[in-house]
Structure 1
Amino acid sequence: MIGITVFQPFFLSFTLPYSAIRGENLPVLVTVFNYMTECLTMEVRMKETDDFRIQSALGAVQKMCVCGGDSKSAKFHIVPVKVGEIDLEATAVSMEDDNTCVNQIISKEGIGVQDGVRRKLLVEPEGIPQEYTKSFYLCPEGSSLKQVIDLPVASNNELVPDSTRVKVNVIGDIMGPTLSNLKDLLKMPYGCGEQNMASWSPNIYVLQYLTNTNQLTDAIQDEAKGYMRVGYQRQLKYRHHDGSYSAWGDNEYQNSTGSTWLTAFVVKSMAQSRAFIDIDSKDLDFSMQWLLNHQSKDGCIQSVGQVFSNYLKGGLGDGENVVGLTAFALIALLEAGIDKNVPAVTNGFTCLDKQQTNADMYTLAVMAYAYTLYNVDSPKRVQIMAKLEARAKMPNQGQKYWSQEEKKRDKTDDDYFYWRAPSAEVEMTAYVLMAKIALEQAGAVSQAQPIVQWLTQQRNAYGGFSSTQDTVVALQALSMYATLVYHGGMDISVKMDIPNSMYQTGINDSNSLVLTTWDLPQQTTQLRVNVQGKGCAMVQANMKYNIHEKEEEKEGATSFHVRVNLYRSRSDIDNCKKRTLRICVRYALPNFSNMAIVEVKMVTGWIPVKSSVKELVATNQIQKFEINPDRVDFYFDEFDHLERCFAFEVEQSDIEVSNPKPALISVYDYYEIKDSVMTLYEIKTICGTKEELPFPEQWKPYRRFYDDNSQRRLPSEQSGSTPGPVSTCPVCNEVVDASSEDFKMMVCKAEAVYKATVGRSGKYSIKIMTNFTNEGKRHLEIYVNSVMGSQCQCSVLGDTENKAFILTPLSLLDTEAKKLTMDARSTLIHWSNLVEKSVYKILTKQGSAC
């Protein structure tokens, strides 16, 4: 064997941002690394294409001297003019010296040697992105079926030119879109213990379906099992020492207890995964026992720990959250394989038997599936199914779904997001579907068809739905339906017409799981689909485009209000390459949001200062963050009507863009993605200019709105002054310094530190959820009314539902009379995550302070 050794005297490298926005003046660095001991005269050339313009004064060719063991960069300023991935190509050749290298020893060996490098750069359109997805499950039943799909777009003056992308996917299986994108069913972060389940659980249902229908291939099995193993291992990060699970785990995010709801979810998924991957049985049994330990004498599962989704909490009446949670936990236990005759299960259904008449639609739907698994012939199940059927919605012929009785936000002419049903509606409809088709009930297929038709129209372009829970439950329901109706023998043709073009594909048993994708012209607004033959086809049309931001839209946001300010760097105030970015958010709808995400996309050429982002977690201003190549995701447990602000540092990277375009900040409710707002912010490049930036304000992390009528403690009487009247009213503070010694002393002196929901409508205005003690949290779930002097006002109590801490003597709570007296010995503090964590630290982890 002959060996050949090749030596390359130099090589090239690109320095590029992760992405750029069309129209930005972008410096592209082409670096030459010289491996020789002597200097080289290099000619570096950027290949010109129609995708970008070269703005450099030196044009597309630059010469430079690169000496031995050194590197040097040529900088080409380009302006991308095409949206999408563009090719960048540069070459370098070593030449005879032409006085480029002055007073240097020039290598003769490398002359004529050439190297090249090619990279792709993602160029995004300017403006705010919009997306539509329309999905149809078409079953011609041996004949022909036609479907017209309209894709409306924004008006020309709002639409960003050349930003439209239209794509159609066709596949011969209702689970096909999920199979084609198991890795990324949601274009959302998966950064907490509940959200991670969306990367794990759907793989279970895919494998169950394909196994039951004999369609499982080695490739799909390996892929799905791989994602399951990763999801399972990642989930263990959110496990507590007692076997429970919580959103953030038993770590630096300081969750004090596990969540009964999330633990039930994990128990179910772990048990179902055992058929496909290795699961530690001891861990599973330990977690299941923790769940059963939180069952009350009446059979109900206690609500322990935080649940971030409001419709999982109930809230339409006393005790509904307990009923819904109990039904959810019973489903988890039964699907995990526990015997339905054990006391834990029978007692759980005793709890449901007593409460079902008070249940809201969501709870009824969960209960319906729980009773189906327990006893499909149960009279209680029959009653619940009758109630659900009587309240079903039928928007179009051949469709059926369920919703809460509250008014939905309708799609308006100005709403460019394709209107997709709220996550709660998808989830409860999926539970009803499973209640109808589980255990192969008579007439299941015919009853399921209109429900399936509605559900499939709510899917996103990636195989999932809007959020994690609706995706998990809906995919479980659809996989059960797909198993029920699968019989093979598919032979179907799909034709699609658009002006001046026609697309066609055939689907049979051998390719029913293969995705066909058609990229359509930008101007496409209507599709005419014709499906013929035996079987069914999933047809999804997806349209993306950008619109220009309008001030009236930003000011009129209906879900969240966002303010963005840019200041000089707090840590390096005279450094023109650093900034402090401050973002303030408040919830514009009643009550609270669910868990919310603030996505901050970086301006091209700017990066976050990681230490400043970490500080937000250390000071309890946020729950968690994730830094991605082009954005930072910030997690918040919830937002309310009081503004919540946070700030972090950004700095300019080596890529100094001279005219960076504005970047996008998105705020959305994780469990109701329709509740969202987007706004743009910009960072001007001021180095070398006379432009000034404002100095940082002296702000606190949380900005609260004060009420002048709030009761405040008066200063101590000074000697010689005339004593005033003694206040018998409680002290109401919307803002406290939770890190101060005064706050610590106030908490230590209080006999009871109640966390409560105040301002409730209905029979009782206050729900006391927890009493914080030096042994941790004691869960109470007590409903009372407040009693205080007629002259007293307290803004913390408010007219709308909020959370608060109530520091009070134990004697002021009368549980029999259902009242909580509030006088001068009582202090009410508006709840925040920061305050709660400080209270917990004072009373437990730093209990010696008391």
Structure 2
Amino acid sequence: MLVFPIAFDELADLESLYPEADAAVEAAEAELTELGSESAPARTWFPETFIWTLVPINDSGAAELAVTVPDTITDWRAMTFCTSESHGLGISETTNLRSFKPFFVEPTLPYSVFRGESFPLKVKVFSYLKQCMALQLSLMDSRDFEFLHENVRFTLCLCPDSAKTFSWDVKATKLGKVNFTITAEVVEQEDVCTERTAVVPESGGKDTVVKHLLVKGSGVKGHAAAEKPASQNNFTVGMDISAVYMNPFAKAHKDGKGACTKAEGQLEEKTHTSFLCPEGTSASETISFTMPENIVLGSERAHISFLGDIMGTALDNIDELLQMSSGCGEQNMVHFAPNVFITRYLEETGQLTPEIKQKAIGYLESGYQQQLLYKHTDGSYSAFGEGSEPGNTWLTALVLKTFSQARDFIHIDEQNIKDAASALIKSQTPSGCFKSVGKLFNNGLMGAVEEGLGLSSVIVVALIHSGMPHSDPVVVKALKCIRDLVHADTGSPNLYSLALAANAFAVAGDKALRQKILKRLDKAAIISDDQIFWSQQSKQEEDSLSWYRASSVDVELTSSILMAHLTKSSLSSDEIKKASKIVSWLTKQQNPYGGFASTQDTVAALEALALYATNIFSKDSPDLQVSLTSKGFSQNFRVDKSNRLLLQTVELPAIPQDYTLHVQGYGCLFLQAILRYHIPPLRSEATFAVSVQTECTVPDASRFPVTIRARYTGNRVSTNMVLIQVELLSGYSPVAGSLEELKKMPLVKKVESKAGQVVLYLEELTRQPQTYTFLVEQDMQVKDHKPANIKIYDYYMPGTGIYPSYAVSAHQSFVTPANCHHM
């Protein structure tokens, strides 16, 4: 097997190649890959990694791989790793491939900007031809951005061994990905090149580049609740997030103090989900999109998506189920485990097409390799790997179970299975139950772990999935201990532990005890609006329920009980009806991407939903006629077995407004309505106290420190794992050395720098204040800076976060010291 990676070494300093211009031209003509010609499409594909794939080789030991070279003007560096049963591991020498054009343009943009910010879009034009050329350089007009001045078409004379730079001042006006299309074309114009004769090349006389820019709205993403009144589905505000906006870089007052100003607003993202099953008749639902009076003008947008499969949204967004950082061993599982459940569901229902299988297996292989980074020498796994803390039994059990299930689809080294099982067996006590080892970052589950019932149930399920027979002494002793704990617990039970125990007995084949536990759990069920769910907290009144706001623990609890209900050879119609009511509640907790609040609940819920979808699947359905109507708007769709996995999305033309969905036919329609807008920051009870401070000792400084001080103020002793996500100001990047220093600070488990932000992973926060500082430096000029946000939250309770911000002065490079505190 051949592993073939290619990454690029970008020709950042292209001027340094000018002494070899003639050689470069000859090479382009003789052996290098030429990009584009007059008839070639625009250059739009600029990946950082070109090839990373497995290639089987024949007996000759040779293999060929036909690929399309990306559009980047660069040197690609490639090497291969080859494995053989008889010869072991082989590593090739590195080889180069230069993708090149004798004449091309290179635009320079920030990674992202906020709406309303402006920046100079700089474009360099390079030529390695042996003659001069007359060129016209243009930037295509667009409704997505504005020119601060007139849109100029530049005419220039470009001769060998030269490069010229031009720029347009533009302002970002539309949210989302904005395309900038730049074209340089050779023209026949005699008065441009006055000192030397200009030529028109036979080919390659035009280069068009399309570069994308992410335009963000100022403010942070809130976790809003969409409450459902009895009459219809209305989106109403239900926020419990504290947001404090501080501007330590505001324009200086005469007294030298900084000013605190508001950001553009906080992003509200609200989700309503429904599962409509007309079963030969018709079903309808009216959704009313309403917004508060203080909405940021022009920020509202909404769409409705629907498909014929309950797993379709998760499948379509498998790489972004969580809109939060996932840089540790526990969070990586949210990208790995759901693929197993979804792939098995599609395979068992005959829907696993080659295209879907290729996508799913790609994610599985990537997730598997990534998870091995967090493996300890004793076979266990922890959130941050060897050297950070002991392996965690809870995470190790999840890894063992998922690796065992993934064996049906990808190669899993059996030694990794054996090592994880061995690590778990070592934690078994003489009673047969298992003790907790290592850090469990979600302390909302501590009760289940401390008493042994929940943890032991999870480990037994993992061991059985790994192939350990039910008669093995480890399994026999563990089941006896779990049985004894269930019988001994006659008081107020830990619902989560009981749910896990029900699952353990279901997997072990003990139908009687599984059913007995489920009856106990049914007594604690909360039934509301034809939905069923469970909560670790006291029963709630119907009118207080909210959607997409359930706690991570409640989602995982309800999912575990659903799994126990479904884990049997056959289900009666009453059992399916009951499971459907649980599913109705679960789907309403989904985020717009098919995931849930955090890691463990997403894994548990998607496994349960996949099992439910498998049980109710019918090859003859769906066959649905769907109509979406509103005032002055009507659109019809069809959902059948040929497109049941196709996510169909309708952008709504007008909000606020009511939209009615009518469904006729057979089968079920899964729909999500997504409403997004910005509002001014809200203040409410928060569980963190935070201050953001900056310092600058000289004017015109392009480098300055960002200092965050944070402590926990809630009613627990400490938090779960805390993430501090620092959004970088447009045009700024972190100083690498200062990030290395951050890693040495107390409670810091990991520091990530990626795509416009720095992320700190903290083991926890207590009432003891912690201070973290790193440096940022300006690498691209941006004007009219908007505040950048700092998001601090408990990973398992994201609704308890606090969101300060910081900004730059109206004077582009002048930074004003400030002390805006919220401690």
TM over 0.5: yes
| TM-superposition CA deviations, 1:37-58 (whole Å, max 9, x none) | 67767654434444333224x7
Q: Could you tell me which residue of structure 1 aligns to residue 177 of structure 2?
A: 85
2:501 to 338, 359, 367: 367
2:424 aligned with 1:286? no
**Letter of the structure 2 residue corresponding to residue 560 of structure 1:** F
Displacement of 1:624 after TM fit? 1.1
- Verify the 8 A CA contact 1:568 1:696 in the aligned structure 2: no
Displacement of 1:272 after TM fit? 0.9
- Verify the 8 A CA contact 2:552 2:601 in the aligned structure 1: yes
1:151-230 equivalent positions in 2, closer than 5 A: 151-155=289-293, 158-230=294-366
- Verify the 8 A CA contact 2:288 2:656 in the aligned structure 1: no
1:671 to 785, 796, 799: 796
Q: Could you tell me which residue of structure 2 aligns to residue 536 of structure 1?
A: 668
Displacement of 1:332 after TM fit? 1.7
| TM-superposition CA deviations, 1:588-626 (whole Å, max 9, x none) | 321222212222211111111122112211345521122
| TM-superposition CA deviations, 1:69-95 (whole Å, max 9, x none) | 232311211122333333323344567
Please tell me the root mean square deviation across aligned C-alpha atoms, in Å.
3.2
Displacement of 1:678 after TM fit? 2.5
- Aligned with 1:295: secondary structure? coil
- Verify the 8 A CA contact 1:125 1:160 in the aligned structure 2: no
- Whole-angstrom CA distance in 2 between matches of 1:237 and 1:566: 36
- Whole-angstrom CA distance in 1 between matches of 2:667 and 2:164: 62
Displacement of 1:265 after TM fit? 0.7
- Aligned with 2:522: secondary structure? helix
Of residues 337-346 and 58-67 in structure 1, the stretch that sits farther from structure 2 once superposed is: 58-67
Displacement of 1:500 after TM fit? 1.4
- Whole-angstrom CA distance in 1 between matches of 2:540 and 2:754: 34
Displacement of 1:231 after TM fit? 0.7
- Whole-angstrom CA distance in 2 between matches of 1:146 and 1:634: 46
1:164-563 equivalent positions in 2, closer than 5 A: 164-250=300-386, 254-314=387-447, 320-356=450-486, 357=489, 359-379=493-513, 381-396=514-529, 398-405=530-537, 419-439=548-568, 440-442=570-572, 443-490=574-621, 491-549=623-681, 553=683, 556-563=684-691
- Aligned with 2:803: secondary structure? strand
Displacement of 1:223 after TM fit? 1.4
- Whole-angstrom CA distance in 2 between matches of 1:80 and 1:270: 46
- Verify the 8 A CA contact 2:179 2:210 in the aligned structure 1: yes
- Aligned with 1:400: secondary structure? strand
- Verify the 8 A CA contact 1:492 1:506 in the aligned structure 2: yes
Displacement of 1:685 after TM fit? 6.1
- Whole-angstrom CA distance in 2 between matches of 1:525 and 1:505: 20
| TM-superposition CA deviations, 1:484-513 (whole Å, max 9, x none) | 111221122222222211222122222212
- Whole-angstrom CA distance in 1 between matches of 2:542 and 2:388: 37
- Aligned with 2:644: secondary structure? coil
Displacement of 1:354 after TM fit? 3.6
- Whole-angstrom CA distance in 2 between matches of 1:97 and 1:582: 56
- Aligned with 2:198: secondary structure? coil
Q: Could you tell me which residue of structure 2 aligns to residue 772 of structure 1?
A: none
2:807 aligned with 1:682? yes
- Whole-angstrom CA distance in 2 between matches of 1:634 and 1:522: 40
Q: Could you tell me which residue of structure 2 aligns to residue 30 of structure 1?
A: 123
Displacement of 1:170 after TM fit? 1.0
Displacement of 1:586 after TM fit? 2.3
- Aligned with 1:329: secondary structure? helix
Structure 2 length-normalised TM? 0.76
- Whole-angstrom CA distance in 1 between matches of 2:601 and 2:761: 20
2:203 aligned with 1:74? no
Q: Could you tell me which residue of structure 1 aligns to residue 62 of structure 2?
A: none
- Verify the 8 A CA contact 2:188 2:200 in the aligned structure 1: no
Q: Could you tell me which residue of structure 2 aligns to residue 842 of structure 1?
A: none
| TM-superposition CA deviations, 1:191-212 (whole Å, max 9, x none) | 1111111111111111221222
Alpha carbons of 1:21 and 1:574: their partners in 2 closer, same or farther (altered >3 Å)? closer
| TM-superposition CA deviations, 1:283-330 (whole Å, max 9, x none) | 211210110011000112111011111122227xxx744222112212
Q: Could you tell me which residue of structure 1 aligns to residue 732 of structure 2?
A: 606
Q: Could you tell me which residue of structure 2 aligns to residue 828 of structure 1?
A: none
Displacement of 1:444 after TM fit? 2.5
2:816 aligned with 1:693? yes
- Verify the 8 A CA contact 1:361 1:405 in the aligned structure 2: no
- Whole-angstrom CA distance in 2 between matches of 1:624 and 1:275: 33
| TM-superposition CA deviations, 1:444-489 (whole Å, max 9, x none) | 3122121111111111111211111111111111111111111221
- Aligned with 2:122: secondary structure? strand
- Whole-angstrom CA distance in 2 between matches of 1:524 and 1:177: 25
- Whole-angstrom CA distance in 1 between matches of 2:464 and 2:819: 57
User: 5+ unaligned residues in a row in structure 2: which ranges?
Assistant: 1-28, 38-99, 219-264
Q: Could you tell me which residue of structure 1 aligns to residue 81 of structure 2?
A: none
Q: Could you tell me which residue of structure 1 aligns to residue 280 of structure 2?
A: 142
- Aligned with 2:481: secondary structure? helix
Of residues 521-530 and 216-225 in structure 1, the stretch that sits farther from structure 2 once superposed is: 521-530
- Aligned with 1:304: secondary structure? coil
Alpha carbons of 1:21 and 1:694: their partners in 2 closer, same or farther (altered >3 Å)? closer
- Verify the 8 A CA contact 1:643 1:704 in the aligned structure 2: no
- Whole-angstrom CA distance in 2 between matches of 1:546 and 1:393: 34
**Letter of the structure 2 residue corresponding to residue 181 of structure 1:** N
- Aligned with 2:643: secondary structure? coil
Displacement of 1:11 after TM fit? 2.0
- Verify the 8 A CA contact 2:689 2:822 in the aligned structure 1: no
| TM-superposition CA deviations, 1:249-269 (whole Å, max 9, x none) | 11xxx3232111111111101
Q: Could you tell me which residue of structure 1 aligns to residue 254 of structure 2?
A: none
- Verify the 8 A CA contact 2:277 2:667 in the aligned structure 1: yes
- Whole-angstrom CA distance in 2 between matches of 1:186 and 1:8: 40
**Letter of the structure 2 residue corresponding to residue 693 of structure 1:** T
**Letter of the structure 2 residue corresponding to residue 294 of structure 1:** S
Displacement of 1:341 after TM fit? 2.6
Higher Rg: 1
Alpha carbons of 1:574 and 1:162: their partners in 2 closer, same or farther (altered >3 Å)? closer
- Verify the 8 A CA contact 1:549 1:679 in the aligned structure 2: no
**Letter of the structure 2 residue corresponding to residue 322 of structure 1:** G
- Verify the 8 A CA contact 1:40 1:106 in the aligned structure 2: no
- Whole-angstrom CA distance in 2 between matches of 1:421 and 1:170: 23
Of residues 430-439 and 358-367 in structure 1, the stretch that sits farther from structure 2 once superposed is: 358-367
- Whole-angstrom CA distance in 2 between matches of 1:695 and 1:474: 45
2:796 aligned with 1:662? no
Alpha carbons of 1:59 and 1:172: their partners in 2 closer, same or farther (altered >3 Å)? closer
Structure 1 length-normalised TM? 0.74
- Verify the 8 A CA contact 1:312 1:324 in the aligned structure 2: no
Alpha carbons of 1:93 and 1:232: their partners in 2 closer, same or farther (altered >3 Å)? closer
Of residues 167-176 and 45-54 in structure 1, the stretch that sits farther from structure 2 once superposed is: 45-54
Q: Could you tell me which residue of structure 1 aligns to residue 72 of structure 2?
A: none
Alpha carbons of 1:267 and 1:8: their partners in 2 closer, same or farther (altered >3 Å)? closer
Alpha carbons of 1:665 and 1:525: their partners in 2 closer, same or farther (altered >3 Å)? farther
- Verify the 8 A CA contact 2:270 2:676 in the aligned structure 1: yes
Alpha carbons of 1:374 and 1:9: their partners in 2 closer, same or farther (altered >3 Å)? closer
Alpha carbons of 1:593 and 1:499: their partners in 2 closer, same or farther (altered >3 Å)? farther
- Verify the 8 A CA contact 1:54 1:60 in the aligned structure 2: no
- Whole-angstrom CA distance in 2 between matches of 1:66 and 1:581: 44
- Aligned with 2:110: secondary structure? coil
Displacement of 1:687 after TM fit? 5.8
Percent identity, please: 33
- Whole-angstrom CA distance in 2 between matches of 1:214 and 1:9: 51
